[in-house]
Amino acid sequence: MIADLGYDGVALTLDTDHLDPFADELPRRVAAVGRRLEQLGLGVVIETGARYLLDPWRKHSPTLLEEGRELRLDFLRRAIDIGADLGAEAVSFWAGVKPADVDGSTAWDRLVDGCAETLDRARRKDVTLGFEPEPGMLVDDIAAWRKLHAALGSPAGFGITLDIGHCRCLEPDPVPDCVTAVAGHLVNVQIDDMRRGTHEHLEFGTGEIDFPPVLAALSAAGYTGLVAVELPRHSHAAPAVAAASLDFLRSC
């Protein structure tokens, strides 16, 4: 369906029904997905935001900030391996919400250590990482991503996943300026509409973002990777929303 609509690629969230990285016969499944992507001429990025894959009771748990984070690290290692096998443009991940019983210093140290370990795996597999600032998480904006990047030694291969809606939600600068500010580190882009101060992914034209200047900024930045429509609350109407979203972006 994505290919038939005219999209150039897919942001594939590994999940129970979408190339579960813990499933039996994983190499066979990955190979089948790779063949299908090639047949359809689709690029791919790997997303790791499955809500209940690791813990069926707690959303996104465990994160890199928690006790038991080894399960998250194992998941990220598997995601990197899958990304390498599929030739993914990037593997995207985020920090997680700081647990109430973990102090800020401990949470930060755990994040840096976990990112360093993940980066080591990615380097060995020649995979690019895109770290996403996420509202409400320990790394929630571009400034916090810069702090993390510096704490890791400003490494190559540790880029940023920029969600355009998040920029409108909480960044102080205009959205096109956010794109320009991280142009040299962009490895993955997610796009959706949003309103200031409210983290809700909206269909295009129903929020506050003026999209032609944003797309112009991406072009001026020389970004040639995928720009993935991310509307997590609209899967019940996926075919119609996917078609309308692409039409909107083309019109911009």
pLDDT digits (tens, 9 = 90+) for 158-186: 999 999 999 999 999 999 999 999 999 99
pLDDT on residue 84:
98
**179-183 contact pairs (CB < 8 A, 24+):** 179/214, 179/217, 179/218, 179/221, 179/223, 180/217, 180/220, 180/221, 181/142, 182/142, 182/145, 183/220, 183/221, 183/222, 183/223
pTM of the model: 0.97
pLDDT digits (tens, 9 = 90+) for 97-131: 999 999 999 999 999 999 999 999 999 999 999 99
pLDDT on residue 49:
97
Give the confidence band of 247 by pLDDT, cuts at 50, 70, 90.
very high
Average pLDDT of the residues of the chain: 97
pLDDT digits (tens, 9 = 90+) for 19-46: 999 999 999 999 999 999 999 999 999 9
Answer yes or no: are the C-beta atoms of 237 and 101 closer than 8 Å: no
pLDDT digits (tens, 9 = 90+) for 172-226: 999 999 999 999 999 999 999 999 999 999 999 999 999 999 999 999 999 999 9
pLDDT on residue 15:
97
Distance CA 60, CA 187 (A): 23
